[in-house]
Every structure is written in structure tokens, then in C-alpha cells.
Structure 1
């Protein structure tokens, strides 16, 4: 009969052999995983390099394209000056729609067209003024030295002229839309709700109650005007095809009507309107 010592030694040898076999297997697995990861990294590097090369080739082809609008060579399809001009055109269209949102009959295409044409003419005057100021400030030698840069600078100056005018169109639209029945109704509702709050019920006409109600009415009026402007602009964009060609001159009726409307004050006391 084998002694306990021999049994223990046999078990230890078997255990050591199993551990060695397991170690070899695990080592092989680690090496295989490292090789797999290295292959994946290598493939990723190669793919990245290939994509960079393809992108560089595409960029080179694109850079060689002439400008779609003016034909200037190597302009990546659109030169800087024409990019500014396109943005200017987009803002002119937007300003026309903003003006039409409150001053035109939205379902009347001719009425909307007359308003947008008038706005285009007005902004055209602002652009002409910006152009004159640009040439007044620029030295003729600078214009001749780098005509491409000069054209870009001029187009940017024209864009700025329109950008500066657009907020006033929006302000006028919001002011007039804030006087619509929808806005007035929302203002009255907000005013009444605020006055009916528990802490103002005892004295709804007190100074604090009126101030809080007026603030709530003003906020409701502004929110409604903004909502109406958004909805009306969406409607106009759906109804009106955005055209990039210059529109015709505004009709005489609108040439007279818009300045008159714009001259009217749009800022009043909302509290007076609500209380009345």
C-alpha cells in the first residue's frame, strides 16, 4: 500500500503539471489576443491612412473647382465673396418674410410679394450705402493689389449692413403681433390669473398685485407674439418659393404704406391695454 507521502507527491506532480499546462494555454491565449489586437490596430492605422489620403485627394479636387457663382478658379466650388453674397441673399429673403408676417395678407401671394419686394429695395439701399462707405475708406491701390480679397471684404460689408437691419424688422413684427387679439387675450388671461393668486386675492388692485399682474401679462404678450411670428413664418415659407433672383420694384401702395406703419409706435403700456 502506497504511503501518504507518495500519494501527496503524486498529487503535487499532477497539480503542477496541470498548472503548467493551464499556464501555457493562458499564455497562448494572451499572445493570440495581443496578435489580434495588433492586427486590428494595424488595420485601423491602414484604414485611417487610406481615408486621410482619400480625403486629401477629394479636398484637392474640391479646391480645384471654380466658384459656382462667379467662376473664380480654385475656389472649392464657392469663393468667399460669393458665400457672403449667398448669406446676404438669405437674410434679405428672411427680412422680407418677417415684414410680411405682420403687414401682408398671408394668403395673398401678390400682397406678400409686394412686401418682400419693398423690403428688398430698402435693404438694397442699405447695401448701396455700405458699398459707398467701403470704397470711401479703401485706398484704390489696395483694391487693385488684391482684387479677390477686396471683393470678399466688400461682400462682407454688404452682409453686415443686412445683418444690422434684420433685428429691427423682427422687433417691428413682434411689436405689431403683440397687439393682435390673440396676444391681448393671452395677456388678459395672465393678468387675471396673477391677480387671483392667493397672496393677492385680498387686494387684487394693490400696487404689488398690479405690478405682478402687469409683468405676467407682458411676458404672456411677448410669448404669444413670438409664437405667432414663428407660425406665420412657417406658413410663408411653405407658400412662398425662396427665390434668389432680384425681385421687381415694390408697388406704389406698399411703398407708401410700409413706412407709415413702421413709423407708428409699437411700444405701449400693456397694463393699460389689459386693464382697459
Structure 2
């Protein structure tokens, strides 16, 4: 029986209450002494014969022992039999350790190669899935104008949306720089003026573009004309944001808060130890002026950020839907309403 040695390893005879479970977990557990999955302790589970792989291993081990023994005899010919056996066993252990380390390294390399191959397959699969998803997305029509093959939003409509956002941002910069934030009318007037100015700039930029392009060819392709106008408006609005931001910072830099901070910074720099001997000299004045300008700019940036936040909060409050009154407040009004004639008669009856 190929399993008698495994049975002995389990402790020999024992009281077995569940034969199947005992056989699977204790008595007939396959021992992995060979790399062949069909081998168990030198016996092939499928044929019952000897495992060729184990036979090869035995031959290899015998050849290795003979080779090392020949090396010992050649290098140390005068050893006694006992000393020769000791040296041989030491060298065999060293060789086995080297081979075991090499086996571990080769298995680790195989594992890494398999992991890299799996990663490449996964990356290729993800690339194909992304390409398929992108192909589906590219086939979607435009949400705004229904143009085919627009990836959900054509370039012209995308530029139009961005232009609207930029115009709103520029209007906020204009209001933050010069409007009275406590007066909604003032804010509305400044933002409307800014929007009108940007609209005029877009119209002027479009006319300049028409002067340097083939108008006939442009008119022959309505989509190209639409795309060109959308990009012109977008580019003009983008420049307007920068201009309105710069103007707002300049105006806020002339406020009393900014001027007061600039004066404090000027005096502080002028009073530095290295300028005490000549605080009104050219070097001291130049350094103090530079420091004052930097302080004025910081205050302007802080004021701009604060005012923009206030404007956005006001805009959000105006666009939020009014909350419905609670039922406790609405029921008295509903109860006071007269019922319709037919309904009233039915209730009274």
C-alpha cells in the first residue's frame, strides 16, 4: 500500500468515528515531495507506478554525491574514512543549500514573470475597454446642438459654455472692484456694464477675425463659422477675465485699508537697523517703496478674495429656491379659505 507510511505518520491505529473525514484529512493526505501533482511519495496516483520525476531526482542526487566524493578524493587524498565522510556530508549540505537557494530564486523569478505577464494582460484589457468606452463616447451627439459624433458636447458648444462661465467670472471681478456690495442695484449695474463691455469686445474681435480670413469659404461651411465664432468669443472672454481681475486689484489697492497697510510697511522698512543712519536716503526709500507696494498688493488680493466670496454667497442666495412654509403656518390660511358651493353643501349636509 502506498499509504502505509502516511498512516504510520498519523499515529498508527486510532478510534475513527468518521472514516471519510479521517481519510481525507489525516490518513490519505498527499505529501508534496515532488513537483509533479500526480506524485505522492514516489508513487503515481494515476497509474500506481513509480514516479519518473522522483527517479530522475534520485539519479541526480546520486550523481551529485558521486561528483562531490570524487572532488574530495582528488583534493584531500589522505583522509580517513570517517573524516572523508564528514567532509563529504558538509559539502553535500552546502551544495543542497546552494541548490535550494537557486530553486527559491528561480521560483521567485517565475512568480514575478507571471505577475508581470498578468499586469500586461490587465493593462491591455483595460486599454481595450477604455478605447471601446471612448469610441462609444465619441459617437454621442452634442447635448446642446445635437451635432453627430460630438462626444456628448461639440467644440463650439463647449467653448460657448466656457465663455458664459468666463463672462460671469469677469463680471464678478468688476463688481468686487468697484460696486457697493451692500447695494444690489450697484452690483447689478456694474455686472451688466461688464457683460456689455465683453459683448462689445467679442463683436470687435469677430470683425477683426473676418478681416483676416476668407469670408466666402467661411460662409460656405456653417459649422466652421460657428466653431470659429465660439473660439473667438471664448478667447476674448478669457482675456477679459485677466483684465478685469487686474483692474479690480488696482482699484482695491487704492482703498484706505491698502494705503494704511502700505504706509505701515513703508515706515517699518525705513526703520530697519541698516537704514537708521540714513532713513531718507535713496536705498532706504527704494526698499521701503518696494515693501509698501508688496503690502498694498497683499491687502488688495485679500480684499478681492473676501469680496468675491461675499458676491458668490449673495448670488447663491438669490438662485436658491425659496423654502416652503411649514404646515403649521400654512394650515390656518387653508382653513380660512371658503369651500366651493357643491363641496360646502356636502359638508354641511
Normalization by structure 2: what TM-score? 0.63
Residue 55 of structure 1 deviates from its aligned partner by 0.1
Task: Specify the alignment match of 1:205 in structure 2.
Answer: 280
Query: Which residues in structure 2 correspond to 1:236-247 (within 5 Å)?
Result: 236-241=311-316
Query: Which residues in structure 2 correspond to 1:22-37 (within 5 Å)?
Result: 22-37=97-112
Greater Cα radius of gyration, structure 1 or 2 = 2
Task: Specify the alignment match of 2:195 in structure 1.
Answer: 120
Consecutive unaligned residues in structure 2, runs of 5 or more: 1-77, 319-349
> Partners of 2:107 and 2:284 in 1: how far apart?
78
Q: Residues 61, 108 of structure 1: CA spacing in aligned structure 2 closer, same or farther, 3 A cutoff? A: farther
Whether the 8 Å contact between 1:93 and 1:242 is mirrored in structure 2 is no
> Partners of 1:206 and 1:194 in 2: how far apart?
12
> Partners of 2:202 and 2:317 in 1: how far apart?
20
Q: Which has the higher contact order (CA 8 A, sep 6+)?
A: 1
Residue of structure 1 aligned with 2:124, choices 36, 49, 67: 49
Task: Specify the alignment match of 2:53 in structure 1.
Answer: none
Residue 145 of structure 1 deviates from its aligned partner by 4.8
> Partners of 2:166 and 2:98 in 1: how far apart?
72
> Partners of 1:93 and 1:51 in 2: how far apart?
40
Q: Residues 65, 34 of structure 1: CA spacing in aligned structure 2 closer, same or farther, 3 A cutoff? A: same
Residue 47 of structure 1 deviates from its aligned partner by 0.7
Task: Specify the alignment match of 1:169 in structure 2.
Answer: 244
Residue 59 of structure 1 deviates from its aligned partner by 0.1
Residue 35 of structure 1 deviates from its aligned partner by 2.2
3-state SS of 1:224 partner: helix
Residue 88 of structure 1 deviates from its aligned partner by 1.6
Residue 98 of structure 1 deviates from its aligned partner by 0.6
> Partners of 1:166 and 1:17 in 2: how far apart?
81
Residue 108 of structure 1 deviates from its aligned partner by 3.7
Task: Specify the alignment match of 1:223 in structure 2.
Answer: 298
Task: Specify the alignment match of 1:6 in structure 2.
Answer: 81
Task: Specify the alignment match of 2:149 in structure 1.
Answer: 74
CA-based RMSD of the aligned residues comes to 2.4
Paired residues, number: 241
Alpha-carbon displacement from aligned partner over 1:32-77 (angstroms, at most 9, x marks no partner): 2122112212211111111011101110111011112222111111
Task: Specify the alignment match of 2:208 in structure 1.
Answer: 133
Q: Residues 43, 60 of structure 1: CA spacing in aligned structure 2 closer, same or farther, 3 A cutoff? A: same
Q: Residues 6, 109 of structure 1: CA spacing in aligned structure 2 closer, same or farther, 3 A cutoff? A: farther
Q: Residues 122, 242 of structure 1: CA spacing in aligned structure 2 closer, same or farther, 3 A cutoff? A: farther
Residue 78 of structure 1 deviates from its aligned partner by 1.4
Residue of structure 2 aligned with 1:157, choices 224, 228, 232: 232
Whether the 8 Å contact between 1:187 and 1:217 is mirrored in structure 2 is yes
Residue 223 of structure 1 deviates from its aligned partner by 2.0
Structure 1 stretch displaced more, 217-226 or 127-136: 127-136
